[in-house]
């Protein structure tokens, strides 16, 4: 049974952004303010000035250099192409302006569902979570069914209620995986929820639960972060130089893209070394 369940979670290549098959939804639907992450203000529903007629970004290879670091740390988990090619069956918002606003409103809902699919898929690959694999499969199948709903039904969907169910299963997964980790000599009285600017160089943080933690600008150089849960953690400008994150889970490429590191940082096999680290 275990092998069959793990296989279910391996056929999910659609959970990565495929901009070629998307109508630039993240470049239109989402708002942002001029800041260190964005070069100018943009309202929701308004196309970014860098979005071309073919829905490609004119500065995609130089986003950071042009003041759009925020774009490099965003992940739609494949929601963009799902909406573009499945939900709206290839109809784009430029040629069909009557569906534009609806499409933009559906996009963040689909993004949340695909994010849940991504985490559930990863959880199904964890042998230590075998005890709840059947529940994980049911949650994954239910979430996938929700992504197939019509635009109107998606807009009426109670996403928080479904997320609550999924989050509970992911927490159970985390506890099962981390319970196998020996945690000797770890820092005591550490408030994991708020570690902004924390000085944790060479700290033994193996098997930690960083769910929703604020690790902004934290010094994690050469820290032992193996087999830790990073779901929802904010790693913006955290220094991971020389840190060991092997076996860490619920960690996304976008999170790592927001951090700093070097060639000595050890990442999970599913995560690529960001270009700005090289």
**Cβ neighbours, 10 Å, residue 20:** 9
Find the helix or strand (DSSP H, E) in which 180 lies: none
Nearest Cα to Cα of residue 60 among 24, 93, 35, 89: 24
Q: Is residue 95 part of a domain?
A: yes
Is the same domain home to 12 and 124?
A: yes
Q: Quick one: 231 and 202 in the same domain?
A: yes
- Confirm if 273 and 267 have CB atoms less than 8 A apart: yes
Task: Give a yes or no: residue 43 inside a domain.
Answer: no
199 lies in the same domain as 255:
yes
Q: Tell me, yes or no, if the pTM score tops 0.85.
A: yes
User: Does 194 map to a domain?
Assistant: yes
In a domain, 211, yes or no: yes
CA 266, 216, 181: angle at the middle one, nearest 5?
Answer: 45
Verify that 216 and 131 share a domain, yes or no.
no
Q: Are residues 83 and 130 in the same domain?
A: yes
Distances (CA, A) of 198 to 87, 213, 239, 264, 272: 44, 12, 10, 21, 25
User: Cα–Cα distance between 155 and 153 in angstroms, integer?
Assistant: 5
Asked if 105 and 161 sit in the same domain, the reply is yes
Take residue 58 and report the two structure tokens written for it: 């004119």
Residue 157 and residue 134 share a domain: yes
Using the 3D structure, point to which of 178, 203, 228 is the last residue of a domain. 178
Q: Is residue 277 part of a domain?
A: yes
Give the pLDDT confidence score for residue 13 in this predicted structure: 61
Domains held by the chain: number: 2
Q: Is residue 108 part of a domain?
A: yes
pLDDT per position as a tens digit, 124-172: 999 999 999 999 999 999 999 999 999 999 999 999 999 999 999 999 9
What are the 10-residue block averages of pLDDT along the chain, 278 residues in total? 43 80 96 95 96 95 94 95 97 97 98 98 96 97 98 98 98 96 68 85 95 96 97 97 98 96 96 93
Q: Are residues 86 and 109 in the same domain?
A: yes
**162, 228: one domain:** no
Q: Name the DSSP letter for residue 150.
A: -
Query: In this structure, is residue 58 part of a structural domain?
Result: no
Q: Looking at the structure, do residues 138 and 272 belong to the same domain, yes or no?
A: no
Residue that is last in its domain, among 139, 155, 178: 178
160, 178, 196 — which closes off a domain? 178
**Which residues span the domain enclosing 104?**
2-30+74-178
What pLDDT does 194 receive? 82
Where residue 244 sits, what CATH number does that domain have?
Answer: 2.160.20.80
Does one domain contain both 160 and 232?
Answer: no
């Amino acid at each position: 049974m275990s092998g069959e369940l793990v296989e279910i979670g391996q056929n999910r290549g659609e959970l990565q952004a495929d901009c070629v098959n998307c109508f630039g939804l993240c470049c239109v639907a989402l708002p942002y303010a001029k800041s260190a992450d964005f070069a100018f203000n943009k309202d929701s529903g308004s196309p970014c000035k860098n979005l071309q007629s073919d829905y490609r970004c004119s500065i995609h290879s130089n986003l950071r250099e042009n003041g759009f670091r925020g774009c490099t740390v965003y992940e739609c988990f494949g929601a963009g192409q799902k909406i573009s090619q499945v939900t709206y069956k290839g109809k784009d918002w430029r040629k069909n302006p009557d569906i534009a606003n609806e499409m933009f409103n559906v996009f963040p809902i689909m993004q949340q569902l695909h994010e849940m699919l991504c985490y559930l898929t990863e959880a199904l690959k964890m042998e230590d979570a075998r005890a709840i694999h059947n529940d994980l499969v049911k949650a994954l199948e239910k979430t996938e069914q929700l992504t197939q709903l019509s635009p109107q039904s998606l807009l009426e969907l109670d996403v928080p209620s479904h997320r609550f169910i999924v989050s509970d299963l992911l927490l159970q997964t985390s506890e099962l995986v981390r319970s196998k980790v020996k945690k000797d000599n770890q820092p005591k009285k550490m408030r994991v929820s708020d570690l902004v600017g924390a000085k944790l160089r060479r700290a033994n943080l193996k098997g930690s639960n960083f769910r929703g933690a604020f690790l902004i600008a934290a010094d994690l150089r050469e820290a032992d972060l193996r087999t830790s849960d990073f779901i929802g953690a904010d790693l913006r400008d955290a220094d991971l130089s020389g840190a060991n994150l092997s076996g860490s889970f619920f960690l996304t490429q976008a999170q790592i893209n927001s951090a700093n590191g070097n060639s000595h940082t050890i990442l999970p096999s599913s995560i690529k070394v960001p270009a700005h680290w090289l």
